[in-house]
Structure 1
Amino acid sequence: MRPNIFKYATSELSQDALICYVLSYYDEIFKETYSLEYLFAEKFLYHIMEKVGLKNLQVKKLKLEKQVLAIDILLIINDSIYIIIEDKTFTSERENQMNGYREKVINKYKVKEENVYCIYYKTGDESYSNLYLIQQGKNTYTILREEIISLFKKYEGNNIIHEDYLLNLIDIQNEKESFKDRDLRIESFNWSEIIGFYNELDKSFLRLKQEGIMPKDIGFNWHYTANKQGGFMCYYFENVLNFQKYSYYLQLEFASDNDKKKTVKNNLKFVIKVWSCDKDISLLYKGLDILIDNYGDTIVKPSRFARGSWMTQAIIKNYLVINEVGIIDVYKTAINIVSWLNSLRSLKKKLIFDF
């Protein structure tokens, strides 16, 4: 297989350049000499226009600005429409980043707020909860990896840059989805696969909320958490049980140093956690007896209790649903997790302690 430049050009600046390169062909001077590049630039641009709700607007003039006002890419259309493209690969948006950019554009170009749009263009992975918050911004929309792959498949020419970009994104997508073929009776997930699994869990929990199976007030999210042991990828569930000085939540934990030769049952832990504003480790001892009385040997005590604001109280066993050939059933696993959420909530009166 020949080298692919995007295996090396992995930065957001490289992706900025790719987007500008594609859109630069939307110029009449290229309509005949580079007709396929021109047609794809037109498709790319009008896909963005449709995304922000300007499907029927005819683009007579396009100006590209790169790194103006610290914005990755600014599209100025017909001297009146401004589209901010915030390009991300593996990082996430800083707090209120695009809102800040919007204000800068309004002030610099003296444009009305309703004529400024934001696109969050991301080829990496991000939780549904984070993306949902981004989409709540005014005139803010997302274009994500699967959509980008679908878009680049529409290019009909023989441009090695287009081809390399598409093939690299397909490779990333395949790496994330390879967990669907992993025999978990004898193996575990790798780092890319756990992200793919978490992405699918997001979809399952959204479906379960729509079906009325998962409580609507339960929050769910995932991200990397650093620690002295090398960090782990956690998927956590908020608002399970809340008391004045402490609360209960559930969490999946996949450590960065996990051994793929082990089974997933060894590497992916599902735990009951306690948050304590006072770092009160006695909560773990008090609550564990109640959990054992209710759940028996379906839970186990961790090897040791550690004092902190976020403390592991118990490890839940046999929550994963794996079929006869070792492939995980994500939806049924999500249902099991929801059952644990509801069950833990049912113990609210028993888990209230006086101080």
Structure 2
Amino acid sequence: MFDNTNLFRWATSELSQDAFICWLLSWADSSCASKDLKMHNAGKIFVNYLLELSKENPISSENIVVKKQLDSADIVAEIGKNLILLIEDKTDTAEHGNQLDRYKTAIQARYPSRKILPIFCKTGNQSNYKKAKKSGYNLLLRRDFLNVLIKIKENGLENNIFNDFLSLLDFREKETQSFLHLHPNDWSRYSWQGFFLSLQEVFPDLNWGYVANAQGGFMGAWWHFGAWSGWQTYLQIEEKSLVMKLGCWTEKHLPAARSSVRNRWLKTLKAANKESDITITPPVRRGNGRSMTAALVSSESNWIQLDKNKLIDFDATVTFLRKAMAVIDKARSDLTFADDK
């Protein structure tokens, strides 16, 4: 449980995080050196880290003017006479629409002679940052943010507001990494997110998110897409279940036709699995929607491999997932049942 005496236990909105970033940036202004030298140095370390992300030279003594919600952009910081830091700040929400491009355009129009340095700051977890990267934003993610705050702390800063925010980010990071030291039955939403983020380092095509359904929803991940008989086949994690899926989102099929394809894909998977040591079984509930579960995948107990302490053995789990992927690959190349009617 997060400490109830921590300011950010109660100041949970993105606006509170905006305020902290603006506060820290403001201390980098050259006029603050005489007010509190340690806070001034903290602000400079932070600004220089953001400049380094943007491949710009560090500052030593510059005027810094910070503005919030300028042309709808979360944070804008004027660095001297030539540079503008544009920071889009997020906690748990993701970017939407073309907001990142709009902010860049608006701020460039306001400062036509200055170089805009766009930063996408995210302290929650997110499946991917394709939009931010495509829009030219450099990433300031929680672990990066935490590392620069630790560097400031090690530089000798003692400040209660700073310490509270540092503790907040540390708590969120530990929650995300909790999948490593909790039994899977005890994993929280953040544990699953941490597990999926680690899997993405192994399987770059993996995406994840919360999936709502009538049964209460789950944290899910999906990857290894490939075609078979005009449908997409892929693997999906539904928390404690690992399933082999079949989907078609570009064409309409009657329910009976969908069921037929699902059954043929299950036959193909079973045929491809004869020499594997994984177990494939049909699902209890056989749907016939545009995305269908064709098979459940497991080992002797669960698909998540555990070590002697009943904690996840990440490497063994990855090996198991690769075996499931190999079965799907083999099934895709087998057209025995692909055109059965």
Say yes or no: TM over 0.5.
yes
1:222 aligns with 2:220: no
Q: Aligned partners of 2:129, 2:213: CA distance in 1, in Å?
A: 25
Give, in angstroms, the shift of residue 162 of structure 1: 0.3
Alignment match of 2:260 (pick from 282, 290, 299): 282
Q: 1:14 aligns with which of 6, 13, 16?
A: 16
Report the counterpart of residue 233 of structure 2 in structure 1.
248
Cross-structure match for 1:316: 297
Measured in 2, the distance between the counterparts of 1:342 and 1:294 equals 9
Residue matched to 2:280: 299
Cα distance 1:69–1:238, how it changes in 2: closer, same or farther (>3 A)? farther
Give the distance between the partners of 2:131 and 2:221, measured in 1 at CA: 17
TM-score, normalised with respect to structure 1:
0.84
User: 2:35, 2:58 → 1: CA distance?
Assistant: 27
The amino acid of 1:11's aligned partner reads: S
For residues 188-207 of structure 1, the aligned pairs below 5 Å read 188-206=186-204
Residue deviations 1:142-168, cap 9 Å, x none? 011111111112232221110100111
Q: Distance in 1 between matches of 2:280 and 2:228?
A: 21
TM-score where L is the length of structure 2:
0.87
How far did 1:251 drift? 0.4
CA contact (8 A) 2:85 2:117 kept: yes
Answer yes or no: is the 8 Å Cα contact 2:269–2:327 preserved in 1.
no
Matches within 5 A, 1:249-268: 249-254=234-239, 268=240
Aligned to 1:273: 245
Counterpart AA for 1:144: L
Question: Hey, what does 2:93 align to over in structure 1?
Answer: 91
Alignment of 1:77-116 (within 5 A): 77-111=79-113, 115-116=115-116
The equivalent residue for 2:173 is 173
Are 1:334 and 2:306 counterparts? no
Name the SS for the 1:240 alignment partner. strand
1:248 CA drift (Å)? 0.7
The answer (yes or no) to whether the contact 1:201–1:331 under 8 Å persists in 2 is no
SS in structure 1 of the partner of residue 93 of structure 2:
coil
- SS of structure 2 residue aligned to 1:247: strand
Please tell me the root mean square deviation across aligned C-alpha atoms, in Å.
2.1
Distance of 2:157 and 2:331 partners within structure 1? 62
Q: For 2:126, what is the secondary structure of its paired residue?
A: coil
Q: CA distance change for structure 1 residues 305 and 230 in 2, over 3 Å: closer, same or farther? A: same
2:141 counterpart residue number: 144
Separation in 1, partners of 2:252, 2:264: 15
Q: 8 Å contact 2:146–2:169 — kept in the other structure?
A: yes
Q: After TM superposition, give the deviation of residue 292 of structure 1 in Å.
A: 2.5
Aligned pair count reads 322
For structure 1, which segment, 97-106 or 12-21, has the greater mean C-alpha deviation from structure 2 after superposition?
97-106
Which residue of the partner structure matches residue 29 of structure 2? 27
Structure 1 portions without partners, runs of 5+: 207-218, 255-267
Following superposition, the deviation at residue 108 of structure 1 comes to 2.8
Structure 1 pair 134–331 and aligned structure 2 pair: CA distance change class (3 A):
farther
Tell me if 1:353 matches 2:330.
no
Offset of residue 88 of structure 1: 0.5
Per-residue deviation, residues 123-148 of structure 1 (Å, max 9, x unmatched): 10112xx224422333x210111111
What are the equivalent positions in structure 2 for 1:224-239 lying under 5 Å apart? 224-239=210-225
**Residue equivalent to 1:257:** none
**Counterparts of 1:306 and 1:43 in 2: how far apart (Å)?**
55
Separation in structure 2 between the aligned mates of residue 347 and residue 59 of structure 1, nearest angstrom:
64
Secondary structure in 2 matching 1:281: helix
- Residue identity over aligned pairs, in percent, reads 26
